[in-house]
Structures are given as structure tokens and as C-alpha cells.
Amino acid sequence: MFTMIKRIVNWTGSYKKRFYWGIVWSLLENFFIAFPLMGAAYVLNLMLQDTAGLRSLHTKEALWALLFMVFCVLGRFFFSYLRAVFQESIAYEKTAEERIEIGDILKRVSLGFFDRHKTGEIAGTVTTDLSALELYAMKMTDTVIGAYLQTLAMILCILFFSWKVATVALVGVLCSAFFQRRLVKDSRANTAVRQKANDSMINATLQFIRGITVIKSYGRTGSAVAELQKSFSDQRDINIKIENAYMWTNGLYQLSLKLTSVAIAFMVCLQTIHGEISLPIMLMIVIFSFVMFARLETVTSAAHTLEMMRAALDKLQTIKTANYIDENSKDIVLNNFDISYQNVSFAYDHKNVIENVSFSLPENSTLAIVGRSGSGKTTLCNLLARFYDVNHGSISIDGHDIREMTCDTLLRYISIVFQHVYLFHDTILNNIRFGRPEASMEEIKEAAKKAACHEFIENLPNGYNTMLGEGGSTLSGGEKQRLSIARAILKDAPIVILDEATASVDPENEHLIQQAISALVKGKTLIVIAHRLNTIQFADNILVIDQGKLVQQGTHEQLIEEEGIYKDFQKILNKTSNWQLS
């Protein structure tokens, strides 16, 4: 438990000093809880002496005692307030910083990171885990530290009157610590399982929501819901298992503290009978014995919650220690946009996908990449955008290896239109503006006109301020595609990567999209992943990729004369005008 507290303290980073000051205020607060009891014992002592006729109790003495108690109550609230001011907002401030930092990190890691860590896992860290830290990190550490400080303050007060009773109290606390350690051990073992069940539940839920159209269209609602329900019941089972384990050990812990209270009361009675301590002191210590463990009794639940946070901190650590893809890169100003791939090889984990590919693409020219589905076309483009880094060879622009450039710099020069368009749950205006946040309304409308989407946007009830569903779900495929092209036109980057995706739209939309694409690529260095040969016949250079290898290259006229994949594709195209390569 204390290692966990140490971890949380380290996690607070620059707020550590405030946390330590909080402990000082907490200690003082606890002394001010113990002092009134001592004051009450003192007054009681005087009253008993008065009753026994040994000395008379003066009103002045009673007033002073009353004043002292009021002072203690005020002191307690003052230090409690100071502790709250110093400590309580730390977790909120820290988690806000963490969320911003994670956003930054996720922007700079390779896409391979997202292959290794599921979306649910990352979403769980940013939402559930950080929320748990936000809500409980400070509260639980305060509960534990406060409880031990209060017990320490009370034992020190008892020590002032009887070292024997103080020793009994100390031994009792040490015994209870044994059960508390056991509880922490159980919690630690179960937390990892619970965390896994939690991530699986988030993943299953996300998958269910994302795949809802496929699930419905295949009539698999029953089995999909069953899978979702399984993740919910796994989560329930592990929670019940944790609670059961907790109940027993916690029961023993509470019992040890109660027995210690009884032992203290017994001990103090014996000492009173033997005349070692007076009756008022005995009463004070008996009161102490039942109050001193009140906060300590809540420690197990705090320790349990703290252990739950261990997994959250572990997951946070995994994200925070992820390698930036552009760790040692810098901002480079490019003067031209000649692109060159030299002996490029790449593997996802251990699966070779690109093998020794070399080609060059002069500025302002058009390169088309064709090949069967899964041949590596998208991967070749992803390497240019540094979504992944090459394993061997190099890619350069204007003679600079792209690994020397930060992703932000590199991506300033590149616009990508993906085959699967993603639009944000935001207004149409902001979705287009994403290409260039500082763009004016006129520039946005101009880009929309070029991308042949101004008209349909204007016809919407709220025009450019229309809110889109998540992923652009409220628009047709063709409309989404044109909006994404408007976004790229607005960005006006000198290099354009186009995952050509007009195959699945109707002829009218195809015409509009082609019109939008022509506006986008004018005067740019263009790489187009061609799904249909008839759209790339005018490319300056065509690469034919087969199983990650560059097997042919040349113009359409040259390739059509050669025996090979390209000619075969052309034959198929001639046979059926609707044929798709991928």
C-alpha cells in the first residue's frame, strides 16, 4: 500500500511539494483532534477533585478549558482547510495535464502502436483509468496517511500518560497491518484480471456500436449481443470475486482493531485499579481507544482502491513510455518536392510487406500505384507519411531523409485523401476547416465549390453549420468523399496522396468526385493508388506492385506493350467495365 502511495506521490510530479505540505497540515489537524480529548480529561479531573473535596473548581479554570477546546476545534478546521487547499485539486490538475500529454503522444507514435494496443485499452486509460485517478488518488492517499497520522498522534498523547497502554496500541496497529498487507496482496492479484475484463468490455462495446450495421444486416444481433453480455458478466464475476476476497480479510482486519480497543480498555482499567493512573485519564484513554481506530478502520477500503489504481498507473506508463516516431527529428524547410524511395523494405511485426522497392517521383508529376488487393500499395503511401518508418532503405523528399523531419513538418507538406473517409462529430464547417484552422469563410466556401460540395451543403437546413454524425454517418459515401477532398483542397499541400475510391459510387457522384479530385491535384506532386486502370492512363509513371515487390514500371503506353500483370489487368478491364482491382 505504501509503495502505491509512493507511486502516486511520484505521479503528482511538479505538485509533489504541495502534497508534502498537505501531509504537514494533516498531522497538525490530527493533533488538534486529540487535544480537546486531553482538555476534557483535564476538566473531568478537576471536577472529580472538586467532588471529592480535595480542591474547588474555579469558573475561570472551566472557562479557560472551554476556550482551549474552541481553539482546538478552530485549529482543526483551519488545518483541514489548508490540507484540502494544498492537496485536493492536485489530481484534477494532474489528470488534465496527463490527458493533454496523451493526446500529444498518440499524435507522435507510429501507427504500429495502435496495432499493438486496442482502441478500448487506450480509450479506457484516457477515460476510466484517469477518472479513477482524478477522483480517488488524493482522497485515498489522504485517507491512509490521515488515518496513520491520527493514530500516531493519539498514541503519542497516550504515551504521555502511560507507556504500557501506548505499547498495547502500537502492537495492535502492527497486528492489523498484517491483515491489511494480505488484503493489498489479494487486491493486487485481482486488479490485473479486473482491468483486463474492463478493457475487454470497452472493446466489445465499441466493436458492437461500430459494427451495428453489419450485425443487423447479417441478422447476427443475437450472437453479437451474447458476446457483449459475456463481457459484461465477466466484469461482474471478477468484481464479485474481488469483493468476496476483500470481505474476509477486511473482517479480520476490523476484528484485530476492535480487539486492540478492548485490550487498551482492559489495560487502562488494570492500571487504574493499581493506582498507576487517575480515573479521568482512564476515561480519556478509553475514549481515545475507540476514536483512534475510527479512521484506521477505513484504511482497508482505501488500500483496496489504491491497488485498483496500480493497473491504471501501469497502463498510463505504457502510453507515456511509447517511442515517438520522430523523437530525434527536426523542422526542415523543403525547397522542392522530388520524392525518392531507395531500396525500401518494411514489415508489420515480422510479416514482410514491402521488399526492396526503389523509384523516384519528380516534383509536379503524377505517380500511380496498381496491384492486387493486399499487394502493399497503401503501405507504400503510409511510409511516405511516416505513419510507420521503413525497416531498410530510405525515403527522401528534396534530398532529405523523411526520418530527419518531425511528423508535423512532414505532414504540412502532404494531403491525404483516404479510401475510407473519416469525418468528425462536428459541423461541416469545422470538418473542412480541419485542413487549415486559420482559413477564412470565403476560403472554406471556395474549397467546397472546387470539391463540388458547396451546393449540397447550402441545401442543408443549417448549411455549413450542420452537425455531422460520428464518422460523418449522416452523409452519403459520395458526399463524405467530396467533403474530405474539400478539406484537402483547403490544406493546399504540395504533395497529394490519393487512395482513389470512386469505384463504389454512382456515375453522377463519380463524375463530381473526379471533378473535385482534378481541382485538388492541379499543380501538385501526386501519388494515386489506382483501383481502376482507366483513371490513371495519363500518369507520368505507373508502378505495378506484386506481393510487396516492384515488378513493372513505366507509362500506360509502355506497360500495355509488356507482358505482365498490367497487361493482364487491362485485358480484364476490357472484358468488364465494372471490374475492380481491389
Ligand X SMILES: Nc1ncnc2c1ncn2[C@@H]1O[C@H](COP(=O)(O)OP(=O)(O)OP(=O)(O)O)[C@@H](O)[C@H]1O
Which residues of the shown chain bind ligand X in the complex (CB under 6 A)?
115, 348, 351, 353, 371, 373-379, 582
Nearest approach, Cβ of residue 377 and ligand X (Å)? 4
Instruction: Between 86 and 387, name the residue whose CB sits nearer to ligand X.
Output: 387
DSSP string, 420-455: S----SSBHHHHHHTT-TT--HHHHHHHHHHTT-HH
Instruction: Between 6 and 107, name the residue whose CB sits nearer to ligand X.
Output: 107
Nearest approach, Cβ of residue 350 and ligand X (Å)? 10
Return the H-helix or E-strand segment holding 23: helix 16-51
Amino acid at 495: I
Whole-angstrom CA distances from 554 to 189, 293, 396 are: 61, 84, 21
Instruction: Give the chain's end-to-end CA distance (angstroms, integer).
Output: 56
Nearest approach, Cβ of residue 187 and ligand X (Å)? 36
Nearest approach, Cβ of residue 529 and ligand X (Å)? 6
Amino acid at 182: R
- Taking CB atoms within 8 Å and a gap of at least 24, the contacts of 433-439 are 433/490, 434/487, 435/486, 435/487, 435/488, 435/489, 435/490, 435/491, 435/492, 436/490, 436/491, 436/492, 439/490
Instruction: Between 32 and 388, name the residue whose CB sits nearer to ligand X.
Output: 388
Nearest approach, Cβ of residue 150 and ligand X (Å)? 54
Nearest approach, Cβ of residue 569 and ligand X (Å)? 13
Instruction: Between 127 and 356, name the residue whose CB sits nearer to ligand X.
Output: 356
Instruction: Between 315 and 377, name the residue whose CB sits nearer to ligand X.
Output: 377
| 241-250: burial string, b at 16+ Cβ within 10 Å, e else | ebeebbeebb
Instruction: Between 239 and 553, name the residue whose CB sits nearer to ligand X.
Output: 553
Where helices occur in 211-298 by DSSP H, the ranges are 212-217, 221-273, 279-291
Q: At what angle do helices 90-108 and 130-161 cross, to 10 degrees?
A: 150
Q: Residue 49 has which C-alpha cell?
A: 477533585
Instruction: Between 116 and 425, name the residue whose CB sits nearer to ligand X.
Output: 116
Whole-angstrom CA distances from 120 to 101, 198, 206, 534 are: 19, 9, 7, 41
Nearest approach, Cβ of residue 447 and ligand X (Å)? 27
Instruction: Between 377 and 556, name the residue whose CB sits nearer to ligand X.
Output: 377
Nearest approach, Cβ of residue 127 and ligand X (Å)? 24
Q: Are the C-beta atoms of residues 261 and 285 closer than 8 Å to each other?
A: no
